[in-house]
Homo-oligomer: A and B are copies of this chain.
């Protein structure tokens, strides 16, 4: 139940239409909670029905016309409640780790190229985060809100750093492997 709260956060930061939200999910918010436009429209409908948000424009626009939303007091209260409520961390779920474990059984043919590709992608993502950090969080004078947002970005940077290091190490192991185990 996190998507509605991601949307509430985004709308509090700035009232938006569905498509604008979709674009923001492709950028900042989507860096730790991704969503497609179909999910967003579905959820906007629910949030409006629950009285957490409302449309901005006085006239009800028809299909195809832009429709912007803002958060109502009940929505802000729900977000505060959710943010403070205790939630268990989700166990790790990673396809590449699973694939390596499978490769230990059925052989490593073909997987090395994808490890390289992932290394590239994670390096790109890391560079993107570092760019954002340079632009949005220059040294000195951070407001408390900025320090929290910086902390979140830092997690992204650290995680991408981890992946680049781990993938590099994995590829070194592959270089060392005498031959494929059982192929």
Interface residues of A (CB under 8 A from B): 2, 5-6, 8-9, 12-13, 29-34, 76, 79-80, 82-111, 113-114, 117-118, 121-122, 143-145, 147-149, 151-152, 154-156, 158-159, 162-163, 165-166, 169-170, 173, 176-178, 180-182
What are 26 A-to-B residue pairs whose CB atoms are below 8 Å?
A: A2-B95, A5-B102, A8-B102, A13-B105, A32-B93, A34-B91, A76-B106, A79-B106, A80-B109, A82-B99, A84-B109, A84-B114, A87-B99, A88-B121, A89-B118, A89-B121, A89-B163, A90-B94, A100-B148, A100-B151, A101-B149, A101-B152, A105-B145, A144-B177, A151-B173, A154-B166
The one of B84, B106, B144, B155 in contact with A110, judged by C-beta atoms closer than 8 angstroms, is B84
A173 in contact with B147 (CB, 8 Å): yes
Residue ID in chain B nearest A30 by CB atoms: B91
Q: Tell me whether chain A's interface is mostly helix, strand or loop, or mixed.
A: helix
Q: State A102–B101 Cα separation when bound (angstroms).
A: 36
B158 in contact with A97 (CB, 8 Å): no
Q: State A2–B97 Cα separation when bound (angstroms).
A: 11
Q: State A34–B12 Cα separation when bound (angstroms).
A: 34
Residue of A92, A158, A173 contacting most chain B CB atoms (<10 Å):
A92
**Complex interface: chain B residues within 8 A of A86 (CB):** 113-114, 117
**Complex interface: chain B residues within 8 A of A159 (CB):** 92, 162
Q: State A101–B76 Cα separation when bound (angstroms).
A: 14
By Cβ-Cβ distance, the 3 closest A-B pairs, closest first, are: A84-B110, A104-B148, A80-B106
A106 in contact with B181 (CB, 8 Å): no
Q: State A154–B168 Cα separation when bound (angstroms).
A: 13
